[in-house]
Structures are given as C-alpha cells and as structure tokens.
C-alpha cells in the first residue's frame, strides 16, 4: 500500500487538543492532516491532548488513519518520551507517519524509529544545524520526505525576509537537491501565515512549485484547495503530456520535433512527471 505522505501535496495542521475539528479537516480535501502536539498545543494541555487523541483514534477508519500524521515535540523536550509512547500505541493500530520538528541529526530520527518502529518520518528542517545535516537526514532510514519549517529557520538565523522570501532561495534549493540526491519525492514547503490573502497564498505556492517542491504545509482548511490545484498539473499540462508521449510512442528517433519544439529524453521525463503529479 502506497504511503500517502510521499505523494501528498497539501498537509493541513490541526492542533491535537482541538479534535472536534477533525471531521472538518478531513473533509477539506487535504491529502494529509497533521495532528500537532508541538507548537499548537500549550504546555499544560499536552497531556490532555495525547489522551484525547488516543481515545479518538479507535473510532477512526483505516482509510482515515492513512491520511493522518502526528507532529510530536522535539527530541530534547520534556514531552518527547510521552509523545513516543503514544506513537508506539498508534503505530500498532494504523498510524503510518510522524513529523519530527527541529530535525538536526540522524541520531534524532533513529531515536524515534527505535521507540515507534515502522513509522515513516517527515523531518522538519528548521535551523542552521538542520540545514548543515540535511543530506544525512535525507538519506536516514525511514525518511519519507523533507519538510521546510521556514518560520523557525528565520528565527534561528536572525533572517527577516521580504514578501518574496528571496533570502531563503538557497535554502529551498538545498532541500530540493538533498531530496533528489537521496531519491526522495519532492520536499514540502512551509506555511503561508496570512489566512485572508489568497493572492499571497497563490504566489507562495507557485514559488514552491518553481523551486521543485511537491507539497506545502497549510494552517487553515481554506488554503487546501488552492495548494492542491497549484501544485498539481493543469488540464493544459496534462493534455500536452499525453500528446507528447503518444507522439514519442510513434517515433523511432531519440529526438524529434513536436508542435514546433524539440523533444528529447528530458522533455519526455517532464511529461511523465506531469502525469504522475496529476494522480
């Protein structure tokens, strides 16, 4: 069975202490819903959130569980061990994926895998240390995709980026290159914090796609549809990809002209990638 996280375009955060909103989150069209035990839950609420999540889990269908992940607290925090104990229980009954914040070393990932075997990992790159180790993290056992936590990353480095976030171009490229080098699917970009600005969401998502990202984190259900659409293939692209692959099937040459342009191996690879993205 295919792991949903490897191909998902939209990842919607839901605070784990607000499970009354889970049905709405699941109905939003998000490919993955991330039940968040970290930043979205106050310190005093974390034990109750874990208990409520464990209680709710038994009522979820197997298909719903495939589309859920849990973001635990970082390895160095006081809540980590309790989070991992929860993971151990849920992994035995359908949980497939865990998101690890502040990922900075392969030893952190190994710690999670040791405590909750069988789970795929979504490490969040959120610091200079994480970026420095990104190639090792990408190749660590169990990693499904890299995720860019660009807000915490800016805090860690003292960056104050402008609206176009050009200051983070090199970091985004580094995550895409590390993913490709490790044969991972395209990484997942960070959130757009302005919930009312549809144009900014579209601009951010289009930038993610231009850089080679295949997914994006969302913080509100209203963001999901736009992310899914803009990171997916358009009808025009799908039609072109089908035409060019049909033309290639009829050709014996390695390169040929098609609709006024030269087609060779990279163009055909792009066409296949477009059709894969459309699924």
Per-residue model confidence as pLDDT tens digits over 159-202: 999 999 999 999 999 999 999 999 999 999 999 999 999 999 99
pLDDT of residue 236: 66
Per-residue pLDDT tens over the stretch 125-170: 999 999 999 999 999 999 999 999 999 999 999 999 999 999 999 9
- Three-state DSSP at 260 gives coil
216 close to 210: Cβ distance less than 8 angstroms: no
In angstroms, the Cα distances linking 61 to 22, 74, 96, 216, 268 are 13, 28, 13, 25, 39
- Three-state DSSP at 44 gives helix
Low-confidence ranges of the chain (pLDDT < 70): 1, 234-236, 277-279
> Whole-model pTM?
0.88
Question: What is the Cα–Cα distance from 150 to 124, expressed in whole angstroms?
Answer: 9
* CA-based R_g, the chain, Å: 20
Taking the domains of the chain in order of start, what are their residue ranges? 4-231, 235-277
pLDDT of residue 277: 65
pLDDT of residue 34: 98
pLDDT of residue 193: 96
Strands (E), the chain: 10-15, 32-36, 68-71, 97-100, 120-125, 147-148, 188-189, 215-218, 256-258, 261-263
| Domain 4-231 = CATH 3.20.20.60 | yes
Give which of 66, 63, 72, 85 is closest to 16, Cα–Cα: 72
pLDDT of residue 134: 98
pLDDT of residue 263: 84
pLDDT of residue 199: 96
């Amino acid at each position: 069975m295919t792991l949903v996280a490897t191909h998902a375009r939209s990842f919607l955060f839901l605070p784990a202490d607000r499970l009354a909103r889970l049905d709405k989150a699941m109905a939003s069209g998000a490919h993955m819903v991330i039940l968040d035990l970290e930043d979205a839950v106050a310190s005093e609420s974390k034990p109750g959130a874990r208990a409520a999540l464990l209680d709710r889990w038994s009522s979820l269908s197997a298909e719903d569980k495939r589309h859920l992940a849990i973001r635990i607290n970082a390895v160095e925090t006081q809540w980590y061990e309790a989070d991992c104990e929860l993971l151990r229980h849920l992994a035995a009954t359908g949980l497939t994926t865990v998101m690890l914040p502040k990922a900075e070393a392969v030893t952190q990932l190994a710690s999670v895998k040791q405590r909750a075997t069988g789970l795929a990992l979504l490490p969040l790159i959120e610091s200079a240390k994480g970026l420095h180790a990104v190639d090792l993290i990408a190749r660590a056992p169990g990693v499904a995709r890299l995720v860019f936590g660009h807000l915490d990353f800016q805090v860690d480095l003292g960056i104050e980026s402008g609206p176009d976030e050009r200051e983070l171009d090199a970091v985004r490229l580094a995550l895409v290159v590390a993913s490709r080098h490790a044969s991972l699917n395209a990484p997942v970009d960070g959130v757009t914090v302005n919930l009312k600005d549809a144009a900014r969401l579209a601009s951010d998502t289009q930038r993610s796609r231009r850089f080679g990202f295949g997914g994006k984190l969302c913080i509100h259900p209203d963001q999901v549809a736009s992310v899914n659409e803009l990171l997916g293939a358009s009808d025009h692209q799908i039609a072109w990809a089908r035409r060019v692959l049909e033309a290639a099937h009829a050709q014996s040459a390695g390169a040929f002209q098609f609709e006024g342009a030269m087609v060779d191996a990279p163009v055909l690879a792009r066409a296949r990638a477009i059709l894969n993205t459309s699924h």
